[in-house]
Structure 1
Amino acid sequence: MGHVYDNLYDLFNQNFAVSARKKYCRIALGVLYHPRCLVHDDFYCVVFIHKRDLDKCDPPFLNRFEKHLIDIEALIHPRHKSVAHDLHMWLKTLLPKNLGKHFPLLQHLFVDYRQDQICNLVIETFEQLNIAIDDEEADKRHQDVINHCQRKLLRTASFDLPLVLSLQPNFEHQNLIDHYYEVHESVSFVKSIETALDTETNIIHRIIDTYTQNFHTIDGLPESVEEIKLSTFKTELELTNKIKQHYQSSRKIRLLLIRVDYHDEHQHILSLKHVLLNEHVQTSNRGVWLIFH
Structure 2
Amino acid sequence: MKKYLLEDCLTKISYGSLIERGGWSAIREIQMDTEASGFRPPYMSFQTFWNFIEELAAKPLPPRIDRSLMSSKSGTDQANLTMALTSFGFTDSEGNVQTALTNLTATDAEQRRTLFGEMIRECYSGPMRVSDQSGTSAALTEVFNSDYPSIASADTRRKAITFFLHAARGSGLELSVHFPSTRSGSGSPGSSKPKKNSGRRKPPPPPGAGTADQQQSNGTGNSGAAGHSQTVILNSGGTVTVTYDVDLFAVSDEDESFVLDIIKKLRGYRSGAAAESTTESGGL
**TM-score, normalised by the number of residues in structure 2:** 0.22
TM norm structure 1:
0.22
**Could you say which structure has the higher helix fraction?**
1
